[in-house]
Amino acid sequence: MELALLPGLRTTRSDSSGAFSFVSVSPGDYTLRARRVGFEVTTQEVSVDGATGSRVEMLMAMRTGAQLLAEVTISGQRVMFPARLSEPYSRVARGRGSFFTRELIDSLQPWDIKSLLQRVPGVHINDRSVRFARCDSHAVLGSDARIQIYLDGVRLTRYGSSLSLDANAVLRDVVISAVQLVEVYPSISSVPPEYGDDACAVILIWSR
């Protein structure tokens, strides 16, 4: 419990039993104020006379009081999606990548999916290529990991064969109006484990 003797700046704290004292108090009239968390502030008038060695004893009782808490406002929005996409949308809720829902795509009105991906930090796109900054780092270190793209859970990118299909080629054929959700994981540390094979970054596209 914190106690203050007013007027003035004299304060003290009670011990574990609630006892307290002020020493060498000048004669006069004072207000004793007591504060404690969970209790109402209590005040009591006290007079100190000028007699040598005088001692004033008093008893204070405090009443419990309701503590006002700051108002908390919780807001949210209802998101509708196909039942088959419950797992992808649960990843959206966890927020470990960059995500574009159908509602966000409609509000942004991108020309194509590559225009959409340009909004992701660390992604660099032009007419001929799609690059992720983290993948450039892997290339410098000699890693064979590449950008991998999946459509409805099926990997479309292929590298190192006569049927090679890189990220740029795959994205060029995606019709943005047919997309329900895009998940972008720009580094291997953020990629869901089931999509991490040979990947330095992953784009998951889910159709409507």
- Domains in the chain, ordered, with CATH? 2-48 (no CATH), 83-207 (2.170.130.10)
Q: What is the pLDDT of residue 87?
A: 95
Q: Is 101 left (phi over 0), alpha (psi -120 to 50) or beta?
A: beta
For the segment 127-171, what is each residue's pLDDT rounded down to a tens digit?
A: 888 899 878 765 544 466 889 999 999 999 988 776 778 899 999
Q: What is the pLDDT of residue 86?
A: 94
Query: For 24-38, 106-120, 143-157, which range has the lowest pLDDT when averaged over its residues?
Result: 24-38
Per DSSP bridges, beta strands 154-155 and 98-101 are unpaired
Mean pLDDT of 113-139: 85
For the CA atoms of the chain, what is the radius of gyration?
Answer: 34
> Whole-angstrom Cα distance, residue 143 to residue 130?
17
Sorting pLDDT into bands at 50, 70 and 90, what band is 21?
confident
Average pLDDT across the chain, whole number: 85
pLDDT at 173 over 80: yes
Of 88, 77, 78, 79, the closest CA to residue 207 belongs to 88
Q: What is the pLDDT of residue 67?
A: 65
For 80, phi and psi rounded to 5 degrees?
A: -100, 135
